[in-house]
Amino acid sequence: MSTIAFLNIPLHGHINPTLPVVAELVRRGHTVTYHTTPAFADEIAATGATVRLYPGDGLLLSGPPTPLGMLHGLARTALALLPAVLSDLRRARPDLIVHGSACPWGPVAATELGVPAAAAFTTMAFDRRVPSPTRASWELLAAGAARPRTAFGCLRSRWRLSRRYDTRNLPLIDLANAGQPLNLVFTSRAFQPGAASFGPAYRFVGPSVGARPRDPSFPADKLEAPVLYASLGTVFDAGPRVLRTFATALAPLGGTVVLATGRTDPAVLGPLPDNVFARAFVPQPEVLDRAALFVTHGGMNSVNEAMYAGVPMLVVPQGADQPMVARRVVGLGAGLSLRTEDVTEDAVRSLARRLLTEPRFRDAAAALRVAQREAGGHLRAADELEDRLRRAAGPAPAHLPQES
C-alpha cells in the first residue's frame, strides 16, 4: 500500500470533509499522515491517520478573512510552515500529497519533493465563470489601495516564497485556488455553477460526511419536531444580537430550536424561550438529519451537509464565498437569503415560515439530496486518489495484467 500525506489549513470547513476520506484510505490499508494544529489532532487521529503538528499556531490570520487578508495570511503561513513540513515529508516519503485548495504550502511541498499531488476543494470549483474570491480583480486592487500595509506585506511574503522555494505550480496571486491534475470538489455537479465548463481534472464527488465522533452529551433523542437549526459557523462572529434574534424569531415556529453560537458564549444571550437549546457547538450532521429548516451563514461545508440531508435553508452570508453560495441556494430553489443587516425578528420569522410551509422549497432540497448522494462522497474520493496513485506510478510491467 501507499503513503499519502494530507496538508490543509486548520479550519473546520476545510478539515471536516477530508476526515471520512482519510478514514476510508486507512481502512483500505494505506498509511496516511495529516498535518494540523492541536485543536484538530484528536479527531484526525480517530480516523487512523498519523498526526503531524504544524509549528506555532498554524494559520496566521488576523481579523475576518477578507480576500486580501486571506492572501496575506496564506503567504505568511506558507513561509512559516514549509521548513518543518518539508522536513516531516522527507522522513515520511509520501507517494501522494493531498492538499486543500487554499493551502499554498501543499503544492510547493509537492513540487519541491517531486511528489504527485491532488487538491481538495471544500468550496466550489472556480474558473472565469465562477470567479475565485481571492482572484486578481478590481475589488482586490481597491482593497489593497485601502490597506496598503496589508497589500505590501502580501506582496513581500509572496516574493519571499518564490525566492526560497519552487512555486511554479502555485498561482501567482490566487493562493486560495491551487489546483492539481486531480481536483476533488466536495459538492455535486448539480450544485456547482457552470459544471460543464470544468474538464476531467475536476471530479465532483459530492459531500463527504461521517467519520466525526458523535457527542454523547448532546440530547438528540429529546429534540421535538419540527426541529429548526441555526448556526453561523465558527469563522465570523455574528454577535449576540443576531443570534438572539434567530432564537426569538424561530421559537414560535418550532418544536425545538437548536442554536449553535460558535465563538459567542451562550450565557451572554440572556434568557431564551423554553424550546431553544443554545450551545457553542453541536453535532451538525446529527441535527440536520432531524431538521426541517437550517438557518446558516452559507459556508460550503454546512450547505453541502444540509443538501445531503435535504433540508431547506435560510442563508445569512457573512463574507468570503458565502454570498456566492447563497445565490446558488436561492437560484436552485432550495432556500432564501437575508443580509445580516436586515436580520430582524419579523424578517427571519416571515422567511422561515415560507420555507416551512411552501412545498417547493422542500421539493428542491429533496432533489439536491439525491444529487449529493449520487455523486459518490468519500468512497468515490478515495477511489479517485487511488487512481491518481496508479497513474503516477506509470503502466504496470508487461508481464503483469493491466488493470481495467
Query: Looking at residue 294, what is its pLDDT?
Result: 97
> What is the pLDDT, as a whole number, of residue 91?
94
Element (H or E) spanning 335, and its range? strand 335-337
Identify whether residues 296 and 173 lie together within a single domain: no
73 and 140: one domain?
yes
Judged against a pLDDT cut of 70, whether residue 64 lies above it is answered with no
Residue 396 in this model has a pLDDT that exceeds 60? no
CA distance 401 to 391: 15
- Report pLDDT for 395: 60
Higher-pLDDT residue of 262 and 197 is 197
Query: What integer is the mean pLDDT of 301-310?
Result: 93
pLDDT at 399 over 50: no
Asked whether residue 366 is domain-assigned, the answer is: yes
Looking at residue 169, what is its pLDDT? 92
Looking at the fold, whether 225 and 193 belong to one and the same domain comes out as no
C-alpha cell at 223: 429534540
**Same domain, yes or no: 247 and 356:** yes
Could you say which DSSP state residue 251 is in?
G
Over residues 238-248, the pLDDT tens digits come to 678 888 999 99
The answer to whether residue 211 sits within a structural domain is no
**403 in any annotated domain:** no
Provide the CATH number for the domain around residue 257: 3.40.50.2000
User: Do 143 and 238 have their domain in common?
Assistant: no
- The reply to whether 52 and 139 lie within a common domain is yes
Is residue 212 one of the residues assigned to a domain?
Answer: no
Q: How far apart are CA 82 and CA 165, in angstroms?
A: 9
Q: Which of 88, 27, 9, 403 is nearest to 211 (CA)?
A: 27
- In this prediction, residue 212 carries a pLDDT of 57
- The mean pLDDT of 218-225, rounded to a whole number, is 84
Average pLDDT over residues 54-78: 79
d(CA 34, CA 54): 10
pLDDT band at 63 (very low <50, low <70, confident <90, very high): low
Q: Residue 108 and residue 315: Cα distance in Å, rounded?
A: 35
Range of the domain at 318: 220-373
Q: What confidence score (pLDDT) does residue 403 get? A: 38
Look up residue 283 and give its three cell numbers: 453535532
Same domain, 187 and 224: no
**Average of pLDDT values for 298-318?**
92
In a domain, 398, yes or no: no
Considering the domain architecture, whether residues 317 and 381 belong to the same structural domain is answered as no
Same domain, 262 and 383: no
| Strand pairing category for 3-7 and 96-100 | parallel
Residue 367 sits in the same domain as residue 387: no
pLDDT digits over 274-289, tens only?
999 988 888 888 899 9
The whole-number average pLDDT for the span 388-400 is 67
Number of domains in the chain: 2
141 and 258 in one domain?
no
Are 171 and 308 in the same domain?
no
The answer on pLDDT for 211 being more than 70 is no
The residues pairing with 229 across neighbouring beta strands, listed in sequence order, are: 258, 294
**Residue 288 domain-assigned?**
yes
Whole-angstrom Cα distance, residue 288 to residue 26? 27
pTM score of the predicted model: 0.86
In a domain, 213, yes or no: no
Tens digit of pLDDT for each residue in 67-98? 888 888 899 999 999 999 999 999 999 999 99
pLDDT higher than 50, residue 400:
no
Q: Please check the confidence at residue 25 and state whether its pLDDT lies above 80.
A: yes
Has residue 215 been placed in a domain? Answer: no
